[in-house]
Structure 1
Amino acid sequence: MVREVRLSSDFSGLDTVAWAFKYLGLPHRNVAACDINKASLQVLQHLEPEWLGSDVRQRQIDRMPPSDLHSFGAPCQSYSKSGKRARNECELGQLANYAIDYIEHHKPRMILMEQVPDIVSSEDYLLELLARLSRSGYSVNMQVLKSSDYGLPQERCRLYVIGIQRPVVEFLFPPPIPCPPLLSFVDVLPASEFKVLPEKGPRGGSTRLDNVSRHLQACVEEGVNPFERSVIITSGCSASRCNRMVDRCVTITRTEAQRQGLWCSTKGGFLDFDEMARLQGFWTGFLPWQDLGISDPQFGGLLGNAMSLNVVLNLIPPLLRSAGFVTENEFRKLAERARRYHPKTCRPD
């Protein structure tokens, strides 16, 4: 019998770990969650944690419930190439310390931290975080993982840090799995609605049209037929920041998801929110965001900031095995269930 796992999270966002436990059918309790974002708080209220906070800087940790698995992914703008890159010199770059404060006080058996790989450019700060975990008795493993290596055709790279108190067996990062084709995540528009180029209009003026036109022309010049192979273009940004990928989705960012600016050549239109959710690993209809009073742009922002569900699904079985929460046989069953997951065809039992 799998042991019940108490879950807690900081900078919770969509709280990907909670959804992963739900899909895997693992017994768990959401004991604590914290996020300052209004839309995230509406999601977290839907998930019903026993303790809910809105600011990691203003809470009494000794009054928070203890947990078995604490997950967190502090805001990345301070480290991201596309952000301000102020690193740990500003308050935003120091927020992860508040999550470590909780960990030092309650000592959950397991930790799952996600961050952009650029945090390694702030080596002193990363080493400080790792040292605090080590002093608290954690065996720490870290590795940069791609969402495209775990069943999602999205080129999203993130650093994952795993911490375990008194591991029973060695933690091993899961091996890569085959990636399904991008079109299995996308709903192609009928011929009457299919567009070769975005229409010029209020959704970005000529910016989107110009970006898509330029990148599709470049594909043709490179010998890529954008109507036989899927090309995803970040159409809503400036020309200098606009980029494309063939047969893969570019990294879904908060900004581009908010403005629904990802153009798909084989769809004949922009990716909608269900499609962006699938490309982040969430099954269709997983969250009734509109019923919760969350606007489309707010939901897009949450998707862009979320941990990819497929990656977390594949991390949880070896994490639970290493911490002694599941047997070897249970681990194999969970790992196989995670490997077979596809967000368009699978959902919780």
Structure 2
Amino acid sequence: MIKKQKIVVIIGPTAVGKTKLSIELAKRYRGEIISGDSMQIYRGMDIGTAKIKQDEMEGVPHHLIDIKNPDQDFSAAEFQELLRKKINEISARNRLPIIVGGTGLYIQSAIYDYHFSEAPSDPEFRSSLEQRAETEGNQALHDELMKVDPASASEIHPNNVRRVIRALEIHHCTGKTKVETHANQSPELIYDTALIGLTMDRDQLYERINYRVDLMLEEGLLDEVKTLHQQGLRECQSIQAIGYKELYLYLDGQISLSEGIELLKQNSRRYAKRQLTWFRNKMQVKWYDMGEEVSFEKKINEISAYIEGKLQIKSNT
């Protein structure tokens, strides 16, 4: 029997405290951190994606950050390939891979024996959609996708007609959304995994999310978005990220800045709720409440005890 590689995975909604915990665990267990966030891969998108700063890393190596330009696409299948390669490299150095992030499908597809099968196609249907895009406009197709597959629609820009059509084609051929065609698999973990989920009281989490947005704006989020906007980046997967699409509406003159900020906070809160629902439904997670009632030191000791028992490892502290 082949011995499985040991990994730690830290998941949870935005603003719950994954970064801080991951650094402390990496120091305890000679770990290296792999980002499990679908947007932190993009260069120049630092503030809006809550990318860790160099001085916050405390010397801990980080991977899969700043590996793509904002005009490039990225998929769960590509993430799966890159993450597994990084796990091999880190394990070969006798260090512990620690995957940290909130993009559910990406992480699930990488740590489980998960296969991306090509969904069936219908060239005739695809051709009819291409003709409709020319006569009715791109927005009409995107509106249709929003009705049948809102998860895909929220990630695809209306002007990215090729991807909109592909998502509609998958739904037409299978009766399922793109995510459902992938998520119906119930595969096994391919690693010896300590899967840790962080959560907290909803009101407390929402308060943290609102505060984080205000902090991002103080740190220059609007200027970061303006730079991308001025570069003419539009029909891109990256610009659909929360924090960017809302401020694009402001920069395009469609809403006021205060409306854009409120929309950004609202979308962030809704995303956090979706993240928690995904993780609770799709993975076997050991959950820890990160609310302020218990000290961080006590929480990290509890989590460390779980990791040591699950993976049969010892800390170096």
Give the TM-score normalised by the residue count of structure 1: 0.28
Query: Which structure: greater strand fraction?
Result: 1
Query: Which structure: greater helix fraction?
Result: 2
Q: Which structure ranks higher in relative contact order (CA pairs < 8 Å, sequence separation ≥ 6)?
A: 2
Give the TM-score normalised by the residue count of structure 2: 0.30
